[in-house]
Structure 1
Amino acid sequence: MDATTVRMRLESMLAELDRSIGVLRGDPLTGWERSPADAGSVLTDADRTLAMLEAATEQRRAVAEALRRLDEGSYGRCADCGQAVPEGRLEARPEAARCVRCQARRERRR
């Protein structure tokens, strides 16, 4: 993928994530005016919304970092080992900062 295509994909992802985050930041606890019997489901919905918000925020950070790497000229190089990140991985996950091997190692440490 050329840099222009990568930038367009990343900027599109960033805009979509910003929209999603904006929607998710709505008050998840609205609905308390409903029956007290609904309180448990409202809390479950709030927990789910918070988890989705955290995931979207983390994804946004990764996309913004990928744009920074693109600007710096280090996009497509593994942040850990410095080897080229395979083209297929970048097509599937344009925000990927690591090759598959280094990403797997990082996830095992968590």
Structure 2
Amino acid sequence: MDVTTARTRLEGMLAELDRSIGVLRGDPVAVRDRSTADAGSDLTDADRAQAMLTVATTQRRAVIEALKRVEEGVYGLCVDCRRQVPEGRLEARPDAARCVQCQGKRERRR
């Protein structure tokens, strides 16, 4: 993927993530008289929203880091081994920082 296309896709991803994060951080729903079951449902919804916010925030950081790599002229190089990240991987995940092999190693360590 060329740098111009990567920058455009990453900036689009960042804008979409910012919109999603804004929605997830929205004003809390006004408290009103509700049944206990509804309160439990609200807690589940809040937990789900918090999990989605965590994922979106993590992905936002990855996109910002990818944009930094574009600016530094190292976009598309694995941050661990410095080999070229496969084109297909960058097409699927423009924010990918590692080649498949290094990403696999990182995930196995977790």
Q: TM-score range by the shorter chain?
A: over 0.9
Give the root-mean-square deviation of aligned CA atoms. 1.2
What is the aligned partner in structure 2 of residue 85 from structure 1?
85
The residue number in structure 1 matching 2:71 is 71
What's 1:11 paired with? 11
Aligned to 2:50: 50
Q: What are the Cα deviations for residues 17-45 of structure 1, in whole angstroms up to 9, with x where unaligned?
A: 000000000245x3642223311111000
Judge conservation of contact 1:32–1:42 (CA < 8 Å) in 2: no
User: Which residue identity is paired with 1:69?
Assistant: R
Which segments of structure 1 move beyond 2 Å, counting only runs of 4 or more?
Answer: 34-37
Larger displacement relative to structure 2 (36-45 or 76-85): 36-45
Please report the TM-score for the alignment, with normalisation by the length of structure 2.
Answer: 0.94
1:45, 1:99 → 2: CA distance?
A: 36
| TM-score w.r.t. length of structure 1 | 0.94
Note the C-alpha offset of 1:108. 1.1
**What is aligned with 1:21?**
21
Q: Is the 8 A contact 2:3 2:75 kept in 1?
A: no
1:31·1:42 contact (CA, 8 Å) conserved in 2? no
Instruction: Count matched residues.
Output: 109
Q: Is the 8 A contact 1:84 1:99 kept in 2?
A: yes
